[in-house]
Homo-oligomer: A and B are copies of this chain.
């Protein structure tokens, strides 16, 4: 872990901040590295990662910027949870078991110590929940918004990472959990929800899903055994299935009436059916979308039951150009003119 010493391009600015930064590392970050020998208690420039024979490392990196990926006044504990969980979700989607992570914080010089304390408390809580440790990183100051980066490391048997490539015509398409909750919550958080919605709609569980997505790590081993291709839904269901279609060189067809919806989302869609587009193309679900051979359908559903993660079949893989088609209950293609389509 290194402090923010550096080229002092702004006269006189680097040294005092650096002194404070080392104190902050001691107080808030070093405790997060306890229990992982390769972090050396954050006393070094680097950490080490031992990879058992027959395994290989999966590396994934996600950055979040205040005002882009979260709202500046979101609770710091929630920001920490989301930062770690979006990376853990990537590991889950690749079939990997979490091991350790690097953290880079770029904070304004006037960032309140209380913010950092709460942010690190949030990291600590999720480290215990998901069994991952802080390995190292960097702490720098910025004149811009809070910018946070996690690079997460996980283990898979060598050569067995679940990829976006690998979906084949005849495969079925599956989705864990429910879709659209986070995107609907974002409408609410931004004050852009349709006026027609019933007052009784309970937004709280949706907002919780937006702020604290649940990485589907419990399903990762089954995914590795059964899936032909997979990823986590971050850009939006249609866009992310589009990634699989593009990299695998296939067409994907899903059925809107088979989408797994939460009770709250179902209530909202009953009142404002146009929200289906939000459900299909909004992001931030962090559920696993994957394909598997049709012969494995029963095994996929059984694996979901065995690890307590709901899994729903939502469509199929077809031969043909990279494309994603959404059919309605009558089997007719839905016109979708939304950002989710931008990658085609």
Query: Quick one: which of A2, A64, A192, A231 has the most chain B CB within 10 A?
Result: A2
A190 within 8 A of B: yes
A117 within 8 A of B: no
A60 within 8 A of B: yes
Residues of chain B within 8 A of A197, CB atoms compared: none
Q: Is the pair A45, B164 in contact by a Cβ cutoff of 8 Å?
A: yes
Q: Interface digits, A121-154 against B, CB 8 Å rule (1 contact, 0 not)? A: 0000000000000011110111111010101010
Q: Is the pair A58, B46 in contact by a Cβ cutoff of 8 Å?
A: yes
Residues of chain B within 8 A of A44, CB atoms compared: 94, 161, 163-165, 231, 247
The listed residue (B64, B96, B145, B163) touching A144 by CB distance below 8 A is: B145
Q: Is the pair B231, A6 in contact by a Cβ cutoff of 8 Å?
A: no
Residues of chain B within 8 A of A14, CB atoms compared: 68, 339
What's the least CB distance linking A30 to chain B, in Å? 12
Q: Interface digits, A1-22 against B, CB 8 Å rule (1 contact, 0 not)? A: 0111111111101110011001
A84 within 8 A of B: no
Nearest B residue to A183 via CB reads B7
Residues of chain B within 8 A of A192, CB atoms compared: 11
CA distance A6 to B3 in the complex (A): 29
The listed residue (B10, B45, B138) touching A149 by CB distance below 8 A is: B138
A104 within 8 A of B: yes
Please report the total number of A residues contacting B with Cβ < 8 Å: 87
Q: Is the pair A141, B6 in contact by a Cβ cutoff of 8 Å?
A: no
| CB contact list, A206-246 vs B, under 8 A | 210, 231-232, 234-236, 239
Binding stretch for chain B, among A49-57, A257-265, A296-304, A327-335: A49-57
A59 within 8 A of B: yes
CA distance A8 to B151 in the complex (A): 22
CA distance A2 to B239 in the complex (A): 12
A contact set with B: CB distance below 8 Å:
2-11, 13-15, 18-19, 22, 38, 40, 43-51, 53, 56-65, 67-71, 90-91, 93-94, 96, 102, 104, 106, 135-138, 140-145, 147, 149, 151, 153, 156, 158, 161, 163-165, 186, 190, 192, 210, 231-232, 234-236, 239, 247, 283-284, 339, 342-343
